[in-house]
Structure 1
Amino acid sequence: MSHAVSPLAPKSYADMPVIEGVRMATAEAGIKYKNRTDVLLMAFDEPATVAGVFTRSKCPSAPVDFCRANLPHGKAKALIVNSGNANAFTGKKGKAATALTAQSAASTLGAADNEIYLASTGVIGEPLNADKIAAVLPDLATRLTGDFWFEAAKAIMTTDTYPKVATRSANIGDVTVTINGIAKGAGMIAPDMATMLSFVVTDAALPADVLQALLSKGVGPSFNSVTVDSDTSTSDTLMLFATGAAGKRGQSAVAEAGDPALADFASALDNLLLDLAHQVVCDGEGARKMVEVEVSGAVSDESAKRVALSIANSPLVKTAVAGEDANWGRVVMAVGKSGEPADRDLLEISFGDVRVAVEGERDPAYSEDAASAVMKKDKIPVRVKLGLGAGKATVWTCDLTKEYVEINGDYRS
């Protein structure tokens, strides 16, 4: 079932530069979809350093287990991603499928099994026919090319309506490095780690532990601050690879994440992750509106985030947004149920610049017309001031439409 491109899709896509040391190819393996690419092979000319963060789900997929086991080695020769089947809740068959895929890739590319990384996305509980992936790998290996980011992003889509790409450049010392990223995600998106698949590659020369520190920090205000439907996937995988090619261009060595020389790179990485996270929210299944929930005045930043997520994940708030209804009573409800410290009589709520409630009651100057005008926009800011402290947080979500129910009502059939 295909769906029209989200009205929140980017008006134009980033022009993705080639990154030295990485090449890609895609294939139609027929795992679930017909007449579209569903396998991506990303191969590194020299073993890249690697970092990753994964779902906190207690029912992780077989590829997540596989990646976690390999990550301590810190080196990657290839990444293989398939769409259409998550290889999750597939028991011993799932583990056998990851082993077969990794062995096929390792022998095709002349690598060790622990230098292969895998990710799968799609239906949960269906055994994955890894023979279909193994069958296309030798051909993929002959077609690898650097200028293929957009096609790579297309091959990992499931219910996504557009491919998600982003690129940034940064300086480490006086050498310029590039960071490219792709992501997929439209449903089963809730911030408890990466909540989707995303793969980021840079030509910087950085050790694995430095990459890991930067990635773990960068995920908090980006992928961990978006939610489509409050459901955390079994398969969430966010990986960062560094080919090291900039080292040959004279980039100085960096030994720790706190090195001042990395400030520009860390900032660019954080910015790229936030860009990709916003693209995921804007492609929320059936989404017509993006909502930015900003909570301030909480007892702590952590408390502010929990309140913000309570609002962003409320079906009643999200359906009100879908109906362009300035129903601030539902925001009051979501603050009150969050379990976090809040004082009814200090609460202040605004939709955009229109204050709708203050000091525990409707704003005396409240205008339904002004509030409704805000609700008609594509991007709607919801601002909540708790008046208790200095804690603040921002999260992003989308509205909940009839299309979301339709897409998820027949996802498997």
Structure 2
Amino acid sequence: MLKKLTKFSVNQMDPCKEWVPVESIADNEHFRPLCLLIKKKKSKRIFDRAPRYQRTGFSVDDVLLPREDGTSTESLHQESSQITVTKVTADEVDGGLSISLDPASVELKGGASLSNGFSVKIQKKSISQQYLEALTRERKINMDHSFIRQLQRTGIRLYVVTEILEASEEAVYEESTKADGGFMAKFYATLSAKGTRESNQGIVIPKGCTLAFRTIPLRIRDGAWDLVYFQDEDEDHVVEDRQGYADDEKLEEVRTEVKKSCRIFSKLSPDLLLIILNTIKAVMTDENLLQELSQKMEEVLEENDGYELKTESPDLKELFSTLQQSPRHRLLQLAEGITYVLDALQELMEHQLLLLLESLERKIVSQQLKLVENLLKHDLEYEMEPFSVKARLLSFQHEEDQKLTIALVELSGVHLQEDGSAIPRDQPFESVAALFAALYALKLLSGSK
């Protein structure tokens, strides 16, 4: 839930996306000014261009030779004025289909309601580059430090946090959904259409919690160190300026990345595809399970030698047992493919995941994929102008399939009418690209035509 808040806040404050959202409250203290980070191994993600960093547990002070006067750098944090980010949505319906103009809210037949909201005061803290430059001249790296010795052997680049956005006051983010029995209302809380089910989720953001951060790379040579202001062209965290791309070029870029990342699935046996699909379906209804699988797959990719997959979850055991018996090269390919699918799913809203599961049951994923592919032919990143899609792409055998699909797309930020007219909101390119990736993977895994 924290990722939803931090990504929304960063998008409101930083259209250029130079800030990296923090995804876990538990780790937020490891992304403070002067903390040292390394970048996680991550292939390109067109739907999530922010780099992902791994905490090291060390700060700059920890790896430098002692300062003669023994002073600390904590007093050098500079604070700017506070900013308040607020978002509140609430809607309630009694039958029929009603889609709110807010992308976080969609209401479906059966007497359903959804509300969420937060208000967080944010302040920026930073370490001046002038101070860091002076520090590079005054103090050397302790090359005997165990962490530095290991770092030198691996050649992994080190990053230092220079700026953060933090909550200046405690804040609460809450989501509440309620669905009374009915065919479409089940998407809110359960895949069972019986009875009444309420779902309430909340998260307390403590005062001082880091919400987002910025870094700069360090270069270490024989005890000397300096800041790297200009990145190599092949650095994967450099943000592309996509403005000026032809629409077909953007679509082709999405297609190319998704096909490359999911290519391993087309080589698998039907039995293994079914195991992976059942696991993916299980994690789509359990956020904790999704996080566990994502973490395990990342650990497989990080380990140079063998890695033992263990879990207490029955939903993951069959997949882990199968992966454990795979040759190392095949294990890495599978871990990369599964990680890509999970990353796409994590960019979608909880309600979208339930809609996708129902789409699988209704065997309409292939047609939905064609529709979303058509959406990506239009500029969803810079030109927020109405456009039209082919009406036949919205022609389903059953009316409920059409409504379900319209709701699914609406949650990614494109308002669709039955006649094919479309209105994009809030530059939804990345969200629609994530939906395309999820649909493409589910199509492959389910063997849909």
TM-score, structure 1 normalization: 0.26
Query: Larger relative CO (CA 8 A, sep 6+): 1 or 2?
Result: 1
CA radius of gyration, larger in? 2
